[in-house]
Structure 1
Amino acid sequence: MTQAKTHNYEGVLAVWKPAGWTSHDVVAKARRILGVKRIGHTGTLDPAVTGVLPICIGRATRMVEYLQELPKTYEATIRFGIATDTEDLTGEVLETCDAGGLTEAAIRETILSFVGDIMQVPPMVSALKVDGKRLYELAREGVTIERQARPVTIHEIRIGEIKTGVPQPEASFSVRCSKGTYIRTLCVDIGRKLGVPAAMAVLKRTESAGLAPGDSLTLEEIARLRESEELGSRLVPADSLVPFPRATGGSPAASNARQGKPIPFELLAPEPDQAGLWRLYRDDGAFLGLFESDMPGRRLKAVKVFHPEE
């Protein structure tokens, strides 16, 4: 009997999350398919939502905290004239009205008015924790608590089809936003500004960590590619996805990096010219890790060191 081959997979794999699955379900399934222990996702998607779910594998899991901070893009449809207890169409209907008087111009203008820095009150169905318990767990128990508004950023909105002249008009739009933005709450707030109840009808994530639908694989495709030993080519190096500036060093810089010692700017090309995190590479292109720039001391200090093969 031939023993199955094992692989040391490492990198980021864009998974197309199906409806009805939790993000945890997807990670658990991917773990079983790949036979790996170190694996995690870069941002939760609700079970009903489909779309791009980046999965970090192996040492790439050390980059999750940076990848999850990157902007995300969604395609959404809002329905006016209806409100639910979950802010989407899966919840219990709380209110309906005839919103047929809304015009396309008013809907378009109102949706676009949310571009920029805004304040949002997280929904009760969110995964935020209060006193150690997630809000959606409290919601399931019928408990509603006061939530504080939080700042989020709507970077861009593109309006799609708008259907008016019916009791429950709909509008589709694409939104690029910061981490922590709740699209269902955005839909409710849009309706509130128009003076009518509203709920999110459809949501799909089309970008996360810079990865798009064209980069994504279904779980079935992942299983097939693993079986045919072609999956490695679909793994994206995590360091290529973070937006930090890049510097390269020779053997002295690489030696300091491996030992976690500060690296003088003069050993690097280009020499760092700004504070913050930098990606450091060996002169053969191997990723050495993330380093913090100490501008007064003119040196890089280790934050996350990766040890490439010699």
Structure 2
Amino acid sequence: MSAAGDFLIKPEATGASINTSEWPYLLKNYDKLHVRTGHYTPIPVGSTPLKRSLEDYVRYGVINLDKPANPSSHEVVAWIRRILRVEKTGHSGTLDPKVTGCLIVCVDRATRLVKSQQSAGKEYVCVVRLHDALANEMALAKAVETLTGALFQRPPLISA
């Protein structure tokens, strides 16, 4: 970290020397086609990440949220929109209201990333608690094995 707090590339007085005389015919003397300067002029637009304002982080933000049970994904996204006071929010895919899990919420300018996240795969993990001792553990192991991997299901006729 710089003690002064400036996180910029400092200008150089020397240019890079490249010998292109041995290069292929179309690239021969390529270095003479470009006028190179030995200094760097920082653009007055933008800022380094450490000097960026909180509003910029919110404007281009993606929130990885652990959605609680009961509210719908749409409700949670509306809460985030109201709390952050932003115009646009979008989520990566609907989770059922009774389901908890990872909900990716994109804010303002980052909402253009939502489509790429919606087409990404999803993984469901569950915890099973049995109320009684098992008579045949092999039958349970076979049943669990059928639920592992890619599963293709027909959606229910009526859903949440």
Pick the TM interval, shorter chain. Answer: 0.5 to 0.7
Deviation at 1:75, TM superposition (A): 2.5
Name the counterpart of 1:28: 78
The percent identity for this pair of structures is 41
Name the counterpart of 1:152: none
Distance 1:63 1:114, change over 3 A: same
| Separation of aligned partners in 2, 1:45 and 1:70 | 14
Match of 1:59, SS? helix
Q: Name whichever structure is richer in strand by fraction.
A: 1
Name the counterpart of 2:11: none
Which residue of 98, 103, 107 corresponds with 1:53? Answer: 103
Structure with the bigger RCO (C-alpha within 8 Å, sep 6+) is 1
Distance 1:40 1:102, change over 3 A: farther
Bigger-Rg structure (1/2): 2
Give the TM-score normalised by the residue count of structure 1. Answer: 0.30
After superposition, where does 1:1-310 map in structure 2 within 5 Å? 7-8=55-56, 9=58, 10-77=60-127, 103-126=136-159, 136=160
Deviation at 1:12, TM superposition (A): 1.0
Letter in 1 for 2:153: Q
| Separation of aligned partners in 2, 1:104 and 1:125 | 34
Match of 2:55, SS? coil
Unaligned regions of 5+ residues in structure 1, if any?
81-98, 127-135, 137-310
Aligned CA RMSD, in angstroms, stands at 2.8
Q: Name whichever structure is richer in helix by fraction.
A: 2
Note the alpha carbon deviations across 1:240-290, whole angstroms, 9 max, x for none.
xxxxxxxxxxxxxxxxxxxxxxxxxxxxxxxxxxxxxxxxxxxxxxxxxxx
Give the TM-score normalised by the residue count of structure 2. Answer: 0.55
Letter in 2 for 1:21: P
Say how many residue pairs are matched: 105
| Separation of aligned partners in 2, 1:115 and 1:63 | 29
| Separation of aligned partners in 1, 2:135 and 2:97 | 31
Letter in 1 for 2:156: P
| Separation of aligned partners in 1, 2:150 and 2:65 | 30
Unaligned regions of 5+ residues in structure 2, if any?
1-52
Deviation at 1:22, TM superposition (A): 0.7
Note the alpha carbon deviations across 1:187-226, whole angstroms, 9 max, x for none.
xxxxxxxxxxxxxxxxxxxxxxxxxxxxxxxxxxxxxxxx
Deviation at 1:115, TM superposition (A): 3.6
| Separation of aligned partners in 2, 1:49 and 1:39 | 21
Deviation at 1:72, TM superposition (A): 2.3
Distance 1:47 1:116, change over 3 A: closer
Letter in 2 for 1:11: G
Note the alpha carbon deviations across 1:58-100, whole angstroms, 9 max, x for none.
22111111112222233224578xxxxxxxxxxxxxxxxxx98
